[in-house]
Amino acid sequence: MKVALTEKPGPIGVFDSGYGGLTILHEIRQLMPQYDYLYLGDNARTPYGTRSFEVVYEFTREAVQKLFDLGCHLVILACNTASAKALKTIQQNDLPKMEGETRRVLGVIRPTAECIGQITHSRHVGILATSGTISSGSYPLEIRKLYPDIAVSGEACPMWVPLVENYEYDSPGADYFVEKRIGNLLRKDPAIDTIILGCTHYPLLLNKILKYTPRNVRIVPQGEYVAYSLKDYLQRHTEIETLCTQSGTCRFLTTESPDKFTESASIFLRQHVEAERVVLE
């Protein structure tokens, strides 16, 4: 990473490989509308879920660097695959090489893991996520660190992100893929009473997910828990909070066509947004 960065306060950066991170951004802005936000979607290279650890790290590092270059001191990886495959390397290898101590990168897996102990009663939890997140083992690792008594089972859902990105999340064709993956997960462990949606795209499939999930099983989207975790983080780390500007603005950047981003982002956020194109390198 480059090291010549501004020390002036700036917006909070939010990064995702595609559009799913907008569900996290929405919840964060609902809870803390006073801050400025800069969202970056690497839509030209999505999805990350099937890519190798090395490639996900490289792409994520480039995105984090771009947000730092644009004045962010705090970046949220609103992408489970990036959080699983790149976060620790960036925190341990890249940030220490930078001048000063005013840059932070946070993920979405730890905040989700922290809340799960208060939700599950059976102590059996399921994870629905991309192939990359499941293969990384990040959720079982984080949950067992905090709650060794909880059994964790995962199911990869390789078709779910394409369904969302191609606006098929509410179509009849989505039912087959949703029912199949939930059925697979519950057959692995019938005692599951809590399912984490371990991909930020999945809340758009929530109606289908609820349709095929038993009523006694609780579904946990991430956005609300990540937002409250970030609020707590800023309250505990005032040295970072004072470097986050507060004018209530939000800008959107994409590596794809701005028009395409605007069309899709408006579906996720249920409001019209304007985006600018950037190049990552």
DSSP secondary structure letters along 132-192? HHHHHTHHHHHHHHH-TT-EEEEEE-TTHHHHHHTT-TTSTTHHHHHHHHHHHHHHH-TT-
Q: Which of 72, 157, 199, 250 is catalytic?
A: 199
As a whole number of angstroms, the distance between CA 219 and CA 108 comes to 16
Examine the residue annotation and report whether 250 is marked as an active-site residue of this protein: no
- For residue 52, give every residue at least 6 positions away whose Cβ sits within 8 Å of its Cβ, in sequence order, or none: none
Quick check: is 79 catalytic? yes
In the sheet with 124-129, reading across from the earlier edge strand, the strands are 151-156, 124-129, 194-197, 218-220
Beta strands of 9-92 (E only): which ranges? Answer: 12-16, 37-41, 74-77
Residues in the chain: 281
Instruction: Check the annotation: does 232 bind a ligand.
Output: no
Positive/negative CA dihedral, 87, 88, 94, 100: positive
Closest CA to 15 of 257, 280, 195, 272: 280
The token pair at 193 is 């009473």
CB-based contact 202:130 (threshold 8 Å): no
Is 20 annotated as ligand-binding? Answer: no
Question: Is residue 272 a known part of a binding site?
Answer: no
Is 200 one of the annotated binding-site residues? yes
Find the catalytic residue in 72, 79, 244, 250: 79
- Is 80 among the annotated ligand-binding positions? yes
The reply to whether 16 sits in an annotated binding site is yes
C-alpha dihedral sign at 100, 92, 17, 150: negative
Distance CA 139, CA 155 (A): 12
The answer to the question of whether 49 is labelled as a binding residue is: yes
48 is in an annotated binding site: yes
Q: Which amino acid does the sequence have at 244?
A: C
For the annotated binding site for substrate, the residues are: 16-17, 48-49, 80-81, 200-201
> Looking at the annotation, which residues are catalytic?
79, 199
Output the known binding site: 16-17, 48-49, 80-81, 200-201
